[in-house]
Structure formats: structure tokens, C-alpha cells
Amino acid sequence: MPVVESSYRAPWLLSNGYVQSILPTLIRRLDDSHLQRERIEIDDGDFLDLDWSRVGSDTLIVVSHGLEGHSRRPYVLGTLREANRKGWDAVGWNFRSCGGEMNRLPRMYHSGATDDLHRVVQHAVAKGYRHIHLVGFSMGGNLSLVYAGREAHLLPQQVRSVAAFSVPCDLQSSAWQLAKPANRIFMWRFLRDLREKIAVKAGRFPAQISLDGYDDLKTFKQFDDRYTAPMHGFDDAEDYWHQSSSLRYLDGIRIPALRVNARNDPFLSPACFPEAVAHQHEHLTLEIPRSGGHVGFMAFSRDSTYWMEQRAMAFFSQQVVEDKETAAELESA
């Protein structure tokens, strides 16, 4: 598939990647009072919290949030709303420890934890959804692409397409990108938020997890070496990054896939723009707007609708049309 020209144009004075990455979290507010929370108990003794926004459709949009995000972040709520406007049901699911209550097991979540996304998809299939489309942002985008590529043999036939935005598809180079001085504020915030969770885990599982020396950590390399890798069965940070980077699994994707990464995203390294791979891939479309920041893509509108949510729904609509055309051809054959 080609690398397509993007329709996104940043609002005047808002084309800076740092501005687009920070400002939406400060100014965007969307209503979440209509969401219906469901907790599903899973086979390893833990649970996942899902927030549903239903209109009565057999098509479902499954939304995966980013690192230290949750299902009620504005970009998730905006996506749920756009899906409903298209006449589709939508669900935002929370990674373990992200739904407002700490999960039960020592493990939490990570960029390659496709087992939990698969559980959500299987739960949706059991509810009777005939068409399922996946959309993820940042870490959730990487996770969705790993699932579609590495686990292609596990995907139920109901999963029709995947869209991913602001994807750190090469975790090693993205970790070093975030370690740069220009990104210090982002790194500090991630480590601050993760500290609260590690403190809870250390209190519950003191033989396995310790908070001692946490404040000396300054990079994801240090955090992943000490926590992510041992908590989730990896040898070290490099092993975790290698096994969980969606860049490795793009060739395995067999459903229509859209990746949108802004050229000025401060989190992403050059490796996160695999144009050569996209040109040779039958199912992958790569879109690289000049601006947009990290999970930004701001737009001025009365109801705070952003471009990336509309872009995801346009992509899914295209797949819906193609599926209907294919079904009609089979019936007439």
C-alpha cells in the first residue's frame, strides 16, 4: 500500500509538536456520564474494566489507550463518540491497573500484552458482535498492531481492521528518544505516575517488588530493566523492547491496517516511520502528517471534535463498504 498524503492541517499557531502533545490534555473536556462500566473476570484470577458506549449495533469499535492513560481520557471519549455518530457501538478498555482500581496480580500491563486485548475481543465476540474494528493510541496503537501481526492466527474472523495513531513501533529507539533533555517533562510525568502504582505493588508483594531507589530512575531503560521486564517474564529492557515492538510484526498483518504518525511527534524516532515497509505491504497504509504531535491532531470545533477520531472512523467506514461489496459479490456468484 502507498504512503498516503494526509488531510490533516494544524490550526494556526498550533503546529508545534510539543504544543499539540500537551495542550489537549489541558483544555479538552468531554462528557463520560453515559458510559456503562463492566468488569470482566479473567482466567488468571485478575479482572479488566471496560467502558461501553452503545447505540445498538452489531459493529463494535474497540479502543486501546496509551501509557498511563485510561478509558476516559479525552481522545478515547472522542473516539467513542465518533463511533456512535457512525451508528456503531464502542468500548474503551482499561489496561491492568489503569481503570481506577489496582489489579490483583503482581503483573500490570506492557506494550506487548496482547493477551488482554484478545480477551476483550473474545468477550465482544461472545456478545454477538459481527464486525469488530480496533483502534489504539500510542502504546495502545503499538499493542493493537502487535496483536494484528504477531497474533494474526488468533484473530477471530469478526476482527476486520485496525487503526493506530502516534505509535512508538520501535520501543528501543523511542525509549532513547524520550530520554533526551527536550522530553524531560514527559519522562518525569510518566515515572511519577508509575511510581504510585509500583508503591502499591511493593506493599502487596514485598518479596517480588521494591520501591527502594525508585527516585533514582530517570529513563525507561532503567524502569523497564527493574520493573517491566522481571514483572512480565522478560530478560531485561532490551528483550522486552525487542519482543513487544510492532515494527517486528508488520509483515504478519493480514487485515486492513492504518498507521498515522505525525512527523513532529516528539516521542517518535526515525524508525517509527517505516515507509519502505508500507510501500511493499498489501494491507498497511501509512499516513504521516507534517504536524499533529503525540496523540494531538487538534482541530477547532464547537463540540471539540479532533481530526484523528474522524480519520479512524473514515478508515473503518471504508472497510465496512468493502465488506458489503465482497458479501454482495459472493451472494451473486
The pTM for the full model equals 0.96
Number of domains in the chain: 2
303 and 268 in one domain? yes
Percent of the chain with pLDDT over 70: 99
Indicate the DSSP class of residue 228.
I
User: Which triple of cell numbers denotes residue 312?
Assistant: 479512524
Which CATH number covers residue 58? 3.40.50.1820
Q: Which amino acid is at 133?
A: H
pLDDT tens-digit series, residues 130-167: 999 999 999 999 999 999 999 999 999 999 999 999 99
99 and 209 in one domain? no
Q: Is 126 within 8 Å of 285 (Cβ atoms)? A: no
201 and 67 in one domain? no
pLDDT tens-digit series, residues 25-47: 999 999 999 999 999 999 999 99
Q: Assign 1 a pLDDT band (cuts: 50, 70, 90).
A: low
164 and 33 in one domain? yes
224 and 89 in one domain? no
Residue in the block written with cell 496482547? 114
pLDDT tens-digit series, residues 255-305: 999 999 999 999 999 999 999 999 999 999 999 999 999 999 999 888 999
Non-local (6+) Cβ contacts of 52 within 8 A are 35, 36, 37, 38, 89, 90, 91
| CA–CA distance, 79 with 57 (Å, rounded to integer) | 16
Q: Helix 139-150 and helix 114-126: axis angle, to 10°?
A: 70
| Domain boundaries, position 232 | 171-244
